[in-house]
């Protein structure tokens, strides 16, 4: 279909392209629309198939941005961007780059949650791979349907069981994989032909979807247990056979499977779970930035995490590692960490704790003398009242869980409380930033999981930083690919968190955000990529390179959104 080449005399890149006419215009990566040159129009039989005027990429961006502005809702804007993506990928990414702050919330979170829910009604053109359980014996063939020109280095896969805060969305979860990989390209320059979105359709327990005549997935309840494990193993084996050095990103898997899948393969291949590891890295990065503001150390914190699922526990794992790195023993660090699940605070008298929750279960003697109602679950109010935390993190998807009473209680014993309501989408947020600021009289250090507008309070403007995983996963993936890393380890994630804290806006002004600005996402991703690659080498999971070789490899793997010259290639 196409091959990348370079001129021997000047090093300029060009593509040898075998497609012509309508076929070329229908290829979203190769299509240039009205930017095909006169010679290309003749050579590739495009005369008459496009308007006569030859435009630059910048001129095309002006036109499509004007079209974008005419859309009246975020769903309409998302559909417009998706259609542009399906038509002309270079133009899509250039438009997104030039209007990053405006468009990322529309194409990515939080709007993507609504798009997933409307996937079956609004379906237009397939992108990525759909692999269903009845096709288990055909996975090799399905992967081989990807043209060789698409030399895949990164895959984002979901089984759609835990999409954002909206749960089981069946086959519609492919939208999440698509959006994530678009962020890899937008934020870190991943070549669009080197990424592959996949949805594993293992059925759905969403009754509305099963009863929807427009549902496009396998109409079956979710498979579980050995059947599920065998299917995942068949997928991973086939993927590694087709792409031996692939970087596998797991996205929005359920509570019972997310951690299990990651733990099952993390010592066999280069794999990463963004909901767990990406969320943890960006959260710890924001915490480290907050500690610079309030002048305390990680070892001095008392942490409450409301939501002890895979994301909450992975955040806890990273905080635990940071506390230990700051001088505490594991036992001392665990004594300062309190996790709350749907059944209350984790403690050793609880039955049916997940294996990844057990080390965070507090001994009975810790809470025996607490001020609370005996015989009842130990709820968030009880924990905050008795523990007097300095850090409160929400991953519960329980709207309004951080009440005025709880927040004021926390602020009464903590001069600059760190409170992060991280649940997505916005409708599931534990507290609104404006309320947190009002209830603490502007003392809170806040970051959120969804984007929020600046808050005005008492004559001041409070920018609200979003703990956006896009600050981590694109750069991490770029560093992995550039360094040829064979694993993603904890040390690499700690390195990412440190970069986030170093890039935080609050380092320039204590009135700014605990996170970097999205306008600097390429710079942050580059620094993350370098830190990832360097740490991968230092920990023995990547071949040795000089610093210059690391930088050269990172640059070589960053695609530029520009049109290149085409010449006729062989079929």
CB 133 within 8 A of CB 160: no
Cα maximum dimension of the chain: 84
Please list, in sequence order, all residues whose beta carbon lies within 8 angstroms of the beta carbon of residue 561, skipping any fewer than 6 positions away. Answer: 57, 90, 93, 94, 97
In the set 180, 194, 260, 498, the catalytic residue is: 180
What letter does residue 223 receive in the DSSP assignment?
P
* Strand 303-306, strand 247-250: pairing: unpaired
What stretch of H or E contains 481?
helix 473-483
* Strand 303-306, strand 337-341: pairing: parallel
CB 258 within 8 A of CB 473: no
**CA gap 328, 330 in Å, rounded:** 6
CB 311 within 8 A of CB 279: yes
To the query of whether residue 530 is one of the catalytic residues in this protein, the response is no
* H helices present in 253-344, as ranges: 258-265, 279-294, 310-325, 330-334
- Report CA 160 to chain centroid distance, whole Å: 14
What stretch of H or E contains 448?
strand 445-448
Closest CA to 463 of 421, 509, 497: 509
Q: In the block, which residue shows the tokens 């750069």?
A: 475
- Report CA 503 to chain centroid distance, whole Å: 18
**CA gap 125, 431 in Å, rounded:** 37
To the query of whether residue 180 is one of the catalytic residues in this protein, the response is yes
Token pair listed for 471: 């600050």
Token pair listed for 293: 């503001």
**CA gap 24, 475 in Å, rounded:** 32
In the set 85, 108, 243, 563, the catalytic residue is: 108
b/e code 443-465 from CB counts within 10 Å (16+ = b): ebbbbbbbbbeebeeeeeebbbb
Q: Give strand pairing partners of 445.
A: 418
Residue numbers annotated as active site: 108, 180
């Amino acid at each position: 279909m196409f091959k990348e080449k370079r001129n021997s005399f000047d090093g300029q890149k060009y593509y040898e392209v075998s497609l012509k006419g309508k076929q070329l215009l229908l290829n979203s990566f190769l299509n240039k629309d009205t930017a095909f040159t006169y010679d290309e129009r003749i050579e590739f039989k495009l005369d008459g198939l496009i308007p006569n005027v030859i435009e630059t990429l910048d001129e095309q961006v002006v036109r499509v941005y004007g079209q974008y502005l005419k859309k009246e809702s975020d769903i309409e804007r998302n559909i417009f961007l998706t259609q542009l993506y399906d038509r002309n990928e270079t133009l899509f990414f250039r438009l997104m780059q030039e209007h990053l702050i405006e468009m990322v919330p529309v194409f990515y979170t939080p709007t993507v949650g609504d798009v997933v829910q409307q996937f079956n009604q609004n379906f237009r053109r397939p992108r990525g791979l759909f692999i269903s359980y009845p096709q288990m014996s055909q996975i090799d063939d399905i992967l081989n349907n990807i043209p060789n020109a698409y030399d895949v280095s990164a895959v984002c896969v979901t089984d759609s069981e835990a999409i954002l805060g909206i749960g089981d969305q069946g086959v519609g979860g492919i939208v999440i994989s698509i959006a994530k990989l678009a962020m890899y390209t937008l934020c870190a320059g991943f070549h669009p032909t080197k990424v592959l979105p996949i949805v594993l359709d293992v059925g759905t327990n969403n009754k509305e979807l099963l009863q929807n005549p427009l549902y496009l997935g396998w109409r079956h309840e979710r498979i579980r247990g050995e059947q599920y494990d065998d299917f995942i193993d068949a997928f991973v084996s086939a993927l590694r056979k087709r792409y031996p050095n692939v970087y596998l990103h797991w996205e929005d898997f359920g509570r019972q499977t997310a951690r299990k899948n990651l733990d099952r393969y993390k010592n066999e291949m280069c794999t990463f779970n963004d909901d767990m590891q990406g969320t943890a890295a960006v959260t710890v990065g924001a915490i480290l930035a907050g500690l610079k503001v309030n002048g305390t150390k990680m070892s001095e914190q008392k942490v409450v995490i409301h939501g002890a699922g895979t994301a909450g526990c992975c955040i806890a794992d990273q905080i635990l590692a940071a506390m230990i790195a700051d001088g505490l023993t594991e036992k001392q660090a665990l004594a300062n960490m309190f996790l709350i699940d749907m059944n209350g605070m984790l403690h050793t008298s609880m039955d049916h704790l997940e294996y990844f929750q057990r080390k965070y279960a507090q001994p009975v003697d810790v809470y025996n003398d607490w001020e609370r109602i005996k015989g009842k679950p130990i709820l968030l109010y009880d924990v905050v009242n008795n523990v007097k935390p300095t850090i409160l993190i929400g991953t519960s998807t329980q709207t309004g869980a951080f009440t005025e009473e709880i927040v004021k209680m926390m602020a009464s014993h903590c001069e600059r409380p760190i409170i992060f309501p991280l649940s997505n989408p916005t409708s599931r947020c534990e507290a609104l930033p404006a309320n947190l600021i009002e209830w603490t009289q502007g003392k809170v250090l806040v970051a959120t999981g969804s984007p929020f507008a600046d808050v005005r309070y008492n004559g001041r403007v409070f920018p609200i930083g979003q703990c956006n995983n896009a600050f981590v996963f694109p750069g991490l993936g770029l560093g992995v690919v550039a360094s040829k890393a064979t694993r993603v380890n904890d040390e690499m994630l700690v390195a990412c968190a440190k970069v986030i804290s170093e890039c935080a806006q609050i380092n320039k002004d204590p009135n700014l955000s605990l996170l970097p600005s999205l306008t600097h996402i390429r710079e942050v991703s580059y620094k993350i990529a370098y830190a990832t690659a360097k740490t991968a080498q230092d920990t023995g999971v990547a071949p040795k390179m000089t610093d210059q070789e690391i930088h050269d490899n990172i640059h070589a793997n960053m695609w530029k959104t520009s049109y290149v010259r085409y010449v006729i290639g062989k079929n």
